Chains A and B, each alone.
Chain A
Amino acid sequence: MSEIERAHVVVDARDNVTTLLDEGIDLCRLQGGLKVAPGIAFGHKAALRAIAEGEAVIKYGVAIGRATRAIGQGDHVHVHNCV
């Protein structure tokens, strides 16, 4: 396992979020090279690409919620910006 990149899982190819699988909250790169905001805890989600306000947040290939504000690539996606 890389010591500078965070382990994560994209469950479905259609997803626009990924789930972080380690506790490397100080790191700012995902395995695969994408930038990620620091501070995202194990099990929480990061945006794989920019998600516009009102756009669907997709995990498991289904819309699990909607962005309540614009979400940047690599940002934490959770209750503060998704319902």
Chain B
Amino acid sequence: MPSVKAITFTCITASEVRVSGLPIHFSGFARSDGRVGVRNYLVVLSSVALVNRWAELVASAVPEARVVAGEFMRGLRSPDALRQERASEALVTHPNVGACLVLCHDAASARLWRKYLADCGRPHAVLALMDQAGMEAAVGAGRQILSRLDDVRRTVERVPCPIGALTLALECGGSDPTSALVANPAIGLVVDALIGAGGGAIVSETVEFVGAEEPVRDRCPSAQLAARLLGAIAAAEERMEEDGERYRGVNPTAENIEAGLTTLIEKSMGAVAKTGSRPFAGLLQFGETPATPGLYLMDTPFFSPCSITGMVAAGAQITMFGLGVFNPSGNPLAPTIKVCGNPMTAARWRDAIDVDLSEVLAQRLSLDQAAQRLGESLVETAAGRETQAERWREGQFIVPKTLTPL
């Protein structure tokens, strides 16, 4: 066989490369619960979909207000009800939230929310639609309170916070073969550096670890943890197979296949690269907050708006999002840093990508230089620089349901 003189990439296993220069501190918001925010968002939570429109109308009066609204519904069965309740509670008290207005439908749920938020340590208010007299009055009342919350929120200032207080949500979307070569390994190097500084990272989308069991097992410090992680991956694979459906075109998705990814294992090998080289610290359920710093796998569906919702609910302040072909997803409560290694995508989506690393493929940029650039972007974003997904107000909240609602 003729020898193939291809470009030599060492990036897949470049564990010895380190991102130097992550500062010890960044400028953030110190919350009374000890957590640290990278934003001081004004949030309107629609606690049940019945009041989604009310929330939109109220929030539209304050340009900076962000609506947290999902398909939050009644009639869910446990554990779906519990998951939805915990996720909405966690989202509204996220460290990036500077002040929140919670909108409810009935007075009883408003009382529960007031009780829950009593010790949340930041300006808040709760209103029930049933306590109002007509839509116009309801919208007016909401806007008045929101404006007051906005004034109080603005008095909070950034202070030096340890970089190790950050937890990253790790995501990849629109994966293509460059994801595994550039964007994801660059993210992995930054993750290694952040965890080295005492920080944390959460990766999710369990089914995208099918085929990458070996690298996961190798990075589990105990047989028990390996069994838990591999058990979650095996369960995801079983679910995929048990109904006899063909999942090609679902995952890998149609755009993955068009971009050149053939199988789920090929995709998984790229997905795992964004986790870096540190050992796994544990397995989390959807929205569960990690107890210690380090790297966690959260067991979630693979649809990115849903998995990001889970990681943000767990407290992740920033999402690192590796792109091959373009994927718009973001989250209204956590800035999303879009990282791209595909030169065509980077050129076409310049106004929606934050860090263009496509020079790596042309060999004009080494992977550790790429990671350095990404690390700088992380610190600037943490300190307040608006990301493209924030500018476009991208993002949804999707909490998975496992049972047919009542």
Query: Which residues in A have some Cβ–Cβ distance to B below 8 Å?
Result: 7-12, 18-19, 21, 30-34, 41-45, 48-49, 57, 59-60, 62-65, 77-79, 82-83
Question: Which residue from chain A places its CB closest to the CB of B214 in the assembled complex?
Answer: A62
A77 to chain B minimum Cβ distance, whole angstroms, is 7
Complex contact A49–B1 (CB within 8 A)? yes
Number of interface residues of B (CB under 8 A): 29
SS of A interface (majority)? loop
Distance between Cα atoms of A83 and B252 in the complex (Å): 11
Distance between Cα atoms of A37 and B368 in the complex (Å): 34
Distance between Cα atoms of A19 and B179 in the complex (Å): 12
Distance between Cα atoms of A18 and B9 in the complex (Å): 12
Given contacts A9-B6, A34-B4, A48-B4, contact A64 B266 (CB under 8 A): yes
Given contacts A63-B265, A64-B269, A82-B262, contact A42 B344 (CB under 8 A): yes
Question: Which residue from chain A places its CB closest to the CB of B267 in the assembled complex?
Answer: A64
Complex contact A11–B9 (CB within 8 A)? yes
Complex contact B177–A43 (CB within 8 A)? yes
Complex contact B3–A32 (CB within 8 A)? yes
Closest 8 A/B residue pairs (Cβ): A43-B260, A32-B5, A44-B260, A64-B266, A65-B263, A43-B177, A32-B4, A60-B269
Distance between Cα atoms of A8 and B59 in the complex (Å): 50
Say which residue of B2, B4, B260 sits within 8 Å of A45 (CB atoms): B260
Distance between Cα atoms of A10 and B327 in the complex (Å): 26
Complex contact B4–A62 (CB within 8 A)? no
Distance between Cα atoms of A57 and B176 in the complex (Å): 17
Distance between Cα atoms of A6 and B211 in the complex (Å): 29
5 additional contacts (CB under 8 A) given A8-B6, A8-B7, A64-B266: A33-B5, A44-B177, A48-B1, A49-B1, A78-B262
Query: Chain B residues near A64 (CB, 8 Å)?
Result: 211, 262-263, 265-266, 269
Complex contact B2–A34 (CB within 8 A)? yes
Distance between Cα atoms of A48 and B5 in the complex (Å): 12
Q: Does B178 touch A at the CB level, under 8 Å?
A: yes
Distance between Cα atoms of A59 and B177 in the complex (Å): 11
Query: Chain B residues near A11 (CB, 8 Å)?
Result: 9, 12, 180-181
Distance between Cα atoms of A28 and B361 in the complex (Å): 21
Distance between Cα atoms of A15 and B361 in the complex (Å): 19
Question: Which residue from chain A places its CB closest to the CB of B212 in the assembled complex?
Answer: A62
Say which residue of A9, A45, A83 sits within 8 Å of B9 (CB atoms): A9
Q: Does B259 touch A at the CB level, under 8 Å?
A: yes
Query: Chain B residues near A45 (CB, 8 Å)?
Result: 177, 260, 262
Distance between Cα atoms of A1 and B51 in the complex (Å): 59
Q: Which of A18, A48, A79 has the most CB of B within 10 A?
A: A79
